Amino acid sequence: MDMRVRIIDATPSASGFSAVYLVKGERAALIDAGPANGAQKVLEALAGERVDYVVLTHVHIDHGGAAGVLSSALGAEVYVHPRGYRHVIDPSVLWEQSRQALGPIADYYGRPTAAEGARVRAAEDGASVDLGGVRLRFLHTPGHASHHLSVVLEGEGVIFAGDSAGVALEDAMLPTTPYPFKPKQYIRSIELMERERPQRVYLSHFGHAGGAEYLSRHKQDIVSWLDAVAAIVGRGVTDGYEVAELLAGKLESAKKARESRVPHLYYNTVLGLTRAVLEGEWP
């Protein structure tokens, strides 16, 4: 683990799934806020430590749901992709969409809390925040979501990739591609991060996944999943759950993901891939 980076587990009533990262210079920033139901775990882990900024990789409720409560409790400014800005100030639409997409899993993460508008900042592509002795630079990395950004810890060989480079758990490695997934944007975003030549890539799910070699491997994986899904759909199978079962029989990595402790993530991933293929986003 990097001396400037500390992982905080924000997984509600469990561990090892939702990560928040504390980055310290003379000032400190959190990368992501985690879900609303994990906010108290984050605050307890900080133990009163000063935090000046909360930087969201994206506003999905397992990453940005606690932004409002953490910003208020810490007196911190929130940086978010311009397309996610309104959802941080008023997360009501985001919450309804999340409930429709996730069902009871949305309640597990918790209803996102609104942040005070005066504390929210739009993180433009290429902009940066100086923590004093260390700088965070924002890269817009759409594909997983239109409002996704990754964060470069300059001079340290570190990228915080959020969900723009998949999921790496102890029992599964897989893309995370909820609808509306944009595969060609996603691949371009991986290539953008590859050009940074990172030595370490930190994922929101979960922890340190390697460096540039991990990004290259993940790019190959997402293409193989997309091509396999396209072949299945080409045979006339359009039901996402049926595609998921057939994919697990075709790719060992998909089989492991289906049998992991987060099977819902696998099925949501394949549903997103299937929709992308059906809507002409791939090949």
Q: Which amino acid is at 48?
A: G
How many CA atoms, within 13 angstroms, populate the side-chain half-sphere of residue 173? 17
What CATH number did the domain enclosing 57 receive? 3.60.15.10
Tell me whether residue 277 is in a domain. no
**Of residues 82, 83, 85, 88, the one with CA closest to residue 33:** 88
- Is the per-residue pLDDT at 1 higher than 90? no
- What is the structure's pLDDT at 235? 98
Rounded distance, CA 7 to CA 23, Å?
9
Which of 122, 119, 109 has its CA nearest to residue 72? Answer: 119
The answer to whether residue 131 is domain-embedded is yes
Answer whether residue 280 is part of any domain: no
For residues 228 and 200, what is the distance between their CA atoms, to the nearest angstrom? 29
Residue 138 forms part of a structural domain: yes
- pTM of the full structure: 0.96
In a domain, 282, yes or no: no
Structural domain total, the chain:
1
32-70: pLDDT as tens digits:
999 999 999 999 999 999 999 999 999 999 999 999 999
Confidence (pLDDT) at 10 = 98
Q: What percent of the chain has pLDDT over 70?
A: 99
pLDDT at residue 169, as a whole number: 87
Residues of the domain holding 150: 5-164
- Asked whether residue 156 is domain-assigned, the answer is yes
Percent of the chain with pLDDT over 90: 94
d(Cα 86, Cα 68) in Å, to the nearest integer? 12
Asked if 112 contacts 96 with a C-beta cutoff of 8 angstroms, the reply is: no
What per-residue confidence (pLDDT) applies to 157?
A: 95
- 257 within domain boundaries: no
> What does the alpha-carbon distance between residue 251 and residue 212 come to, in Å, rounded to a whole number?
24
In single-letter form, the type of residue at position 277 comes to V
Is residue 182 very low, low, confident or very high in pLDDT (cuts 50, 70, 90)?
very high
Task: Write the DSSP string, the chain.
Answer: --TTEEEEE--TTS-SSSEEEEEESSSEEEE----GGGHHHHHHHHTT----EEE-S--SHHHHTTHHHHHHHHT-EEEE-GGGHHHHH--HHHHHHHHHHHTHHHHHH-PPPPPPGGGEEE--TT-EEE-SS-EEEEEE--SS-TT-EEEEETTTTEEEEETTT-EEETTEEE----SS--HHHHHHHHHHHHTT--SEEEETTTEE--SHHHHHHHHHHHHHHHHHHHHHHHTT---HHHHHHHHHHH-HHHHHHHTSS-HHHHHHHHHHHHHHHHTT---
Of 78, 149, 146, the residue nearest 114 (C-alpha): 78
Instruction: Give the model's pLDDT for residue 50.
Output: 96
pLDDT band for 170, please (50, 70, 90 cuts).
confident
- Residue 22, in any domain of the structure: yes
